[in-house]
Structure 1
């Protein structure tokens, strides 16, 4: 897929020019090797260790950097839609209308190379800032080398159920780093699934990091608080569209851990052997002479896909 690196200089330039003077006075410049302007973080913010190895850094990311990161997320996750095909956050339905790829939310993950220069370095910086306030995180944060970026978008009714991240989505010995943008969300957490539920409100600009004993944190996005985004934050590229909630996650993981596929494959936006069964294409639903959703040829007679594409994907059990 096309690289999104061309957004790097645009985003960095926005951060460099849009930060108010009073914010810049208490902010620290985090710069990648080739990222002009870098990212501004309020290093005066100290973290709260909610559990051993689980740190919450409230308002660590100033508003201008929040807006820049939101634009980054929307551009990377929306790249396929600009090309008129399913991918990223968006699924093109049989009637050619667009929907989020997972109901009331959208999920995206891919190699860090899909993201602008400086994105990886930002994740490392966030991990190290959290480790200042947690002895449990110091070793894992020092070794943290994010190779996958994940972007989740939630509407006002979006949720994520209770789960712990598998080791094929983040190494066992490395932390998971998450930045929160837009509407506030209620983040549920507990060390073990039978522990009492706890929660913390994550506002725009907040960062959470969990590793060490908290690496297997059981967590959930319990609810989104609609229309709570800061007034300075705007939904990129659209007037009147609600900002919603976006989370950006850095993960230290690779093919050696079993992560050999991206979200497009897993969610059936590009159908491969890695696609979950519930996202495999189903026959039927298209009218005679409609274009095949796989190759776009006008050869579909009794389904959404032509026979050649259907046979290539091999979901024979769906016939």
Structure 2
């Protein structure tokens, strides 16, 4: 995989999440292989899919996207609760539980276009998970960049706002997290907990496309050296089917 060098990924300022202050990842972790796993039919975890340089480039892009035109914000749910993660949308603006071309909850500005680099990245990711035929037909048009500080979490939920059952692509950057992947019926067992580390790819589609999933907690101090920030970033790519 290659990213194009340019103004988007040359970013040094703090925008939306704090800079990393030194690597504290356990050096012995690298000695323990983390094999590719299928958690359920259609749910594939590929550790270390992004190399360190690709991770740093993607962090730089996330900083740029977090600066606007629609800023990173904490989403207010219909119940009045406020999510602990902060998010910025690309291509389509996500609100509970719909998509819009404008950020109706933060001033009404038009959402930033979906970046071509993420379209390529999404196709490469689906190819890695399912093979070339699936990857070549994948047309992601919405991205959600979520920032988790040490206290943030994500409750169990389904991704059901899309009008297609195309797979969801998830990329992890920074601190590791404990990710819970459940069943398609409800938030109860059976589920599996897996640690997602920086550079990991997780794709879920097919029979697992509407599985409940969430983040139980982040693991502070696990961001790799040189990643450029503290906390965790998760970039999810989706094909909305909205045209």
Tell me the TM-score normalized by structure 2. 0.70
Structure with more of its chain in helix, by fraction: 1
Q: Hey, what's the Cα distance between the residues in 2 that align with 1:158 and 1:131? A: 31
- Alignment partner, residue 161 of structure 1: 155
Matched, 1:188 2:183: no
User: Which consecutive unaligned segments of at least 5 residues does structure 1 have?
Assistant: 1-6, 15-44, 81-86, 92-101, 133-137, 236-242, 257-319
Q: Hey, what's the Cα distance between the residues in 2 that align with 1:196 and 1:46? A: 22
- Alignment partner, residue 295 of structure 1: none
User: Which consecutive unaligned segments of at least 5 residues does structure 2 have?
Assistant: 12-33, 75-81, 93-111
Q: Hey, what's the Cα distance between the residues in 2 that align with 1:189 and 1:196? A: 9
Q: Secondary structure of 1:123's match? A: helix
- Alignment partner, residue 204 of structure 2: 210
Q: Map 1:70-149 to 2 at 5 A.
A: 70-80=59-69, 87-90=70-73, 102-111=82-91, 114-132=113-131, 140-149=134-143
- The list of structure 1 runs, each at least 4 consecutive aligned residues, that deviate by more than 6 angstroms after superposition, is none
- Alignment partner, residue 52 of structure 2: 63
Shift of 1:10: 3.0
Tell me the TM-score normalized by structure 1. 0.54
Q: Hey, what's the Cα distance between the residues in 2 that align with 1:232 and 1:108? A: 23
Deviations 1:39-82 (A, max 9, x none): xxxxxx973111110000100101111011011112102224xx
The question of whether the paired residues in 2 share the 8 Å contact of 1:179 and 1:248 is answered with yes
Q: Decide which structure has the larger Cα Rg and report it.
A: 1
Q: Hey, what's the Cα distance between the residues in 1 that align with 2:168 and 2:115? A: 20
The question of whether the paired residues in 2 share the 8 Å contact of 1:53 and 1:211 is answered with yes
Root-mean-square deviation (Å)? 2.7
| Residue 7 of structure 2, aligned match among 10, 27, 36 | 10
Deviations 1:91-148 (A, max 9, x none): 7xxxxxxxxxx5531122231763544221111111111114xxxxx76544311011
Q: Hey, what's the Cα distance between the residues in 1 that align with 2:172 and 2:158? A: 19
- Alignment partner, residue 175 of structure 1: 167
- Alignment partner, residue 95 of structure 1: none
